[in-house]
Amino acid sequence: MSTASISTDRTGDDAPLRSRFQALEDERARTWTAGALAINHNQRALLVREHGTTPHIRPGDILPDISLPAVGGSGVSLSQISAKSPAVLIFFRFSGCPACNIALPYYRDTLWPALSAARIPLIAISPQPPELLSDIVTRQALPFPVVSDTGLALSRALGITYRFDEPSRQAALSKGGNSASLNGLDDTWELPKPAVLIIGPGRVVRFADISPDWMDRTASTTILDALGLKQETTSHAA
């Protein structure tokens, strides 16, 4: 894989998604302490500064031939889901991640309908164990498979993981957190950066967008444009 210098500037109509993230930022500004805000912002800023300095997955690369355990099912094979059509892979951090609970419902409503109509698989991937991922599937009524990247094997192979800086690690520990509840690994504070990949037959990557700041995700319109599809939407009661 080559070193990819990926801009954090997004293309496509991501205004609805950005507005949801801004509402979360505004809520935190009202309710979090200055110290907690600084830890969060500093970690994200560090990831943005360092992004692109190490190899990342990029178009033309080939994904490993693996099967990932799914919530409520057996497993999802990357070879099988991309054998006859493109497949969309969405990497997210963990079930309780507030930004992920904004992004996945957004993709449910603005991306999944068009993909489903075109019979293009969509898979959401997190390193969290399947029994813990079931919560976000139920809470957000996700209609697409959610799978576990056991031991961060796939995310690491793609070069999309990051490690908590020390203030972030200490903040998590002070709240009683443990890394195994996030990624299944003991004393390993590491998660994937949010990312969207489109793969085709042979698991060849056709599109890759990595978000070093987890409060900045790929717009559905960008993904659909890469697939040559038009957007369809569904609504869910609040």
Tokens 């995310």 correspond to 155
The pTM score is 0.91
- Tell me, yes or no, whether 233 lies in a domain: no
Instruction: Specify the pLDDT at position 236.
Output: 59
pLDDT digits (tens, 9 = 90+) for 77-109: 999 999 999 999 999 999 999 999 999 999 999
CA distance 127 to 189: 12
- Number of structural domains in the chain: 1
Alpha helices of the chain — where are they, by DSSP H? 15-31, 34-50, 78-81, 100-110, 112-117, 130-139, 153-158, 166-174, 180-183, 220-227
Is 238 within 8 Å of 23 (Cβ atoms)?
A: no
Q: In the 8-state DSSP scheme, what is residue 200? A: E
> Which residues have a Cβ under 8 Å from the Cβ of 28 and sit 6 or more positions away?
36, 37, 40
In a domain, 217, yes or no: yes
Residue 44 maps to a domain: yes
What 8-state DSSP symbol labels residue 90?
Answer: E
Q: What pLDDT, on the 0 to 100 scale, is given for residue 114?
A: 96
Print pLDDT tens along the chain (238 aa): 333 333 344 445 678 899 999 999 999 999 999 999 999 999 999 999 999 888 899 999 999 999 999 998 889 999 999 999 999 999 999 999 999 999 999 999 999 999 999 999 999 999 999 999 999 999 999 999 999 999 999 999 999 999 999 999 999 999 999 999 999 999 999 999 999 999 999 999 999 999 999 999 999 999 999 999 987 766 655 4
Burial class (CB in 10 A: 0-12, 13-18, 19+), 93: buried
Residue 55 lies in a domain: yes
pLDDT given for residue 190 in this prediction = 98
Q: What angle do CA 147, 60, 69 make, to 5 degrees?
A: 10
Q: What is the dihedral of CA 130, 131, 133, 134, to 10 degrees?
A: 120
Question: How far, in Å, CA of 41 to CA of 27, rounded?
Answer: 14
The answer to whether position 132 is within a domain reads yes
Parent domain of 219: 15-227
In a domain, 3, yes or no: no
Q: Which pLDDT belongs to residue 8?
A: 43
- pLDDT for 12 equals 53
* Per-residue pLDDT, 15: 81
Residue 106 corresponds to which tokens in the numbers above? 């957004």
Task: Say which residue the tokens 């355990």 belong to.
Answer: 69
**Is 234 domain-assigned?**
no
Kind plus residue range of the DSSP H or E element containing 175: none
Rounded CA-CA distance 68/17 in Å is: 28
Classify residue 10: in a domain, yes or no. Answer: no
CATH of the domain at 147: 3.40.30.10
User: Among residues 151, 162, 155, which one has the least CA distance to residue 208?
Assistant: 155
pLDDT score, position 10: 47
Count how many Cα atoms sit within 13 Å of the Cα of residue 155 in the half-sphere of its side chain.
28
Res 68: pLDDT: 97
